[in-house]
Structures are given as C-alpha cells and as structure tokens.
Amino acid sequence: MSDRREAVERMVAVDRAARGLSGDFLEAGARLRQRNNFRLALARYCHDMAGEAPVAWPIFKMFDQLHRYVASYMLIHNYYAWLHEKGPPPTLTALQKVTGTSERQTAGFVAAMKAGGFVVAETDPADRRVKWLKPAPAMVEEIGRSVRLFVRAADEIEDRQPALSDLLGEPDRLGELLHQSAAFVLQKGTLIHDFPRVLHFAGRDCGYSLLAAVIGAHYAAAVSGAPDALPLTLRSLAQRFQVSRAHVGNLLEEAAQSGWFSIGDGGRLIEVSDGLVAEFEQWACWQIVHYDSLMALLARKAS
C-alpha cells in the first residue's frame, strides 16, 4: 500500500466513536475490506450503478443529486413509518421538516415527482384537505438501487444462498429497508459526510454515477474477473446519465485539476488516485455493513 493510500486510510478512520458508530460496526467494515472477493463484488456494484437508467424519463437528472435524493429518501421514510409504525401522516409539511432544503425547493421537487408519476397524492379520508405523499414503486426502486446493489455485494462476498438481495425485488420491502436506514440517519447522522470526495460527486447531477463508472474502470484493469469498463467519453457519459456534455466535461475537469483522476482520448482512464480509491472502498464498506445489518433484521421479520 502506498504512503498516499495509508494517509487516506488514517483520514477516513478518525474518531468514528464520536459519531455514534459502534465498535462492532467499524470492525465489521474492516473485516469486509480484507475479504478476497471484496473488490470484485464492488466492481460489479460500480458497473451496475453506472449503467443506463431503466426508463427514458430523466431519472439521473432528478434523483442522482444529493439534495433531491435525500428528499426522495425521506419521503419514502415518512410513508413507511406511517404505514407500518404509526408515524405522523406523510404530508408535504412533514417532509419539509426533514429534507434540509427550503420549503419552496421541497414543494417544487415534489410537484415534479408528481408530474413524472413517481409520487402519488392520496386524500386523507378523515380530512379531505390533507394529502398523503405516497412513493410510487418506480421511485422506491430507483432510490433503492444503490441499496439493493450493496446488499447484493454482501450476498456475493458471503456466498449467500438464497441471496437476501432477492427479497428487495419487492418494492414495499425495499421501501421498508429505506425507512429503517433513514431512521438511522435521523438519529445518528449520515455516513456520507465522512467521505468528502464521495460527497463532492454526490452533490452534483449524475456525479455519484460518474464516480462509480470511473472506479469501475479502475477495477476493470486491476481486478481479475471484473466487468469491462463502461465507455468514459463525454458523449457516452452524457447520453447514459441524461445530462449535457458540458456538465460532464466540467465534472471531469474538476476531478483532473484536483488530482483525483484523469481521462484521456477515447474515454480511456489514464490514472486514478490511490486516495480516491481508498476512500470509495471505505465508503462502500460502511454502506454494505449498514444495509446488510438492516436487511438481516427485515429478513428475519419476513420469515
């Protein structure tokens, strides 16, 4: 391991206990990182996260940006908390309290989701003036795509049969998992803010998916059996993520200037920093441990 990667390892490991993460959680993540097939499973995660959207509507534009993702994530949480645990009614007012953005921004985003058929407004039979926000299965599936793929990575690493991720093909079960995850976030805070570069990309339209494509291209060259790299040209990335070539170009230029990675002619990954790879792998460890532990609880409940 290079000195640069060791420095990043120390950076991302500081003072976890102060954030309320248990020793068991941290130890599980450290063990996971050492598994022989961890990077192969993560390569498949990256390949599928960076793949084409399942529908023609601009899903990446609407969901693949942190603030809009959080609004959707909390909308799903509110609905399933109300549905299964007698939480408060999942109204727009309730959502505006937990999104972290302005009430106007949240209302505008919800209106766009209604127009796209991703959110359904249902009338409260006890008070017809009150509207409940119900996430459509397509929203749950898209917001839960990374979740399902991380659980699938855990299935692969553990050689688990039957695979727990198969249970997440049912939107209501995936919605319940997202609800439990959001309850953790509301209590202990997000996991992503410990990883500044991952957070940087997640804050930009299609940024996280682009990062997954780049890390996937790195694994394609470095990990035996990894899926082939997806094309990284401006044209192919813009088409796949449903954004402009100029936007993709800005993201790639920012990454190159920061020394994170560089892409050459023909969309070829020239280099990626050890620090970025180490940070992404640590982030992935935490995500897998978080979702897999919640999934184990749901699987026991389902059985």
Convert the pLDDT of each residue in 68-95 to its tens digit.
888 999 999 999 999 987 788 999 999 9
DSSP string covering 10-70, please?
HHHTTT-GGGT--HHHHHHHHHHHT-TTHHHHHHHHHHHHTS--SSSS-HHHHHSSHHHHH
Whole-angstrom distance, CA of residue 39 vs CA of residue 78: 34
Q: Is the dihedral of CA 74, 100, 63, 190 positive or negative?
A: negative
Chain length of the chain: 303
Contact partners, residue 211, CB within 8 Å, separation at least 6: 198, 201, 280
Closest CA to 82 of 118, 144, 134, 138: 134
Least confident of 28-42, 45-59, 258-272: 45-59
With left for phi above 0 and alpha for psi between -120 and 50, is residue 291 left, alpha or beta? alpha
What is the signed CA dihedral for 161, 165, 170, 175, rounded to 10 degrees? 140
- Mean residue pLDDT across the chain: 87
Task: Judge contact between 113 and 119, C-beta under 8 A.
Answer: yes
User: Does 9 have pLDDT greater than 50?
Assistant: no
The answer, yes or no, to whether residue 22 has pLDDT greater than 60, is: yes
Residues paired with 132 in a beta bridge: 122
Closest CA to 50 of 198, 254, 290, 229: 229
Measure the CA–CA gap between 43 and 14, rounded to whole angstroms.
26
In this structure, how many other beta carbons lie within 10 angstroms of the beta carbon of residue 175? 24
Q: What is the pLDDT of residues 181-208, one digit of tens each?
A: 999 888 888 888 889 999 999 989 889 9
3-state DSSP assignment of residue 131: strand
Peptide bond into 162 cis (omega under 30): yes
**Residue 17: its pLDDT value, please?**
41
163 vs 11 pLDDT, higher one: 163
